[in-house]
Amino acid sequence: MFVLGNVDRLAPYVHPLILNPFFGYAAADRNVLTASVDETVKEYALLDGAFVINGDGVIDSAGSLIQTDEYVHLPSGLGTRHAAAVAISKAVDCIAMTVSSSTRQICLFRKGTMFSLFAKGFGCGNMT
């Protein structure tokens, strides 16, 4: 999962699952638009937890647990990663994106609404 938004507003909902591999590096070395970051992101994307990225494309953290008090309702077949994405997008003005490990489905979440960017197998469609 990737969460893009104001990291200060996201901070109350973001908790480390692992030591933050991006802590202490210069912003230029953590920018997702920098080619040298590609392999690092690919490796950490295989682990549990979310990437938190600010509006400039700088990764604030990886391996992060996202927790809110927001109630969410999901279609069957979608799990905790999707629930966390819906919830954080409702709690904070941000965008969350998930990639399903089983279906390779990519979904974008904004203000609690889910939009399918790519669906293989079943589509998540548009959910409110």
Q: Whole-angstrom Cα distance, residue 41 to residue 91?
A: 25
Decide: helix, strand or coil at residue 117: strand
Q: Quick one: 76 exposed, middle or buried, by C-beta within 10 A (0-12, 13-18, 19+)? A: exposed
Mean pLDDT of the chain: 88
If pLDDT is split at 50, 70 and 90, which confidence band does 124 have?
low
Please state, for a pLDDT cut of 90, what percent of the chain lies above it. Answer: 62
Domains and CATH numbers, the chain: 2-127 (3.40.1700.10)
Neighbours of 72 (CB within 10 A): 19
N-term to C-term CA, the chain: 19
Please state which of the ranges 38-52, 55-69, 80-94, 114-128 shows the lowest mean pLDDT: 114-128
β-bridge mates for residue 78, sequence order:
none
Sheet with strand 113-118: strands edge to edge = 14-16, 59-66, 50-53, 2-5, 94-99, 106-110, 113-118, 126-127
How do residues 1-51 score in pLDDT, each as one tens digit?
999 999 999 999 999 999 999 999 999 999 999 888 999 999 998 888 999
Q: Tokens at residue 2, please?
A: 């990737």
Please state which of the ranges 33-37, 100-104, 118-122 shows the lowest mean pLDDT: 118-122
If pLDDT is split at 50, 70 and 90, which confidence band does 109 have?
very high
Mean pLDDT of 56-82: 90
The 3-state DSSP composition of the chain as helix, strand, coil percent (nearest 5) reads 25, 30, 40
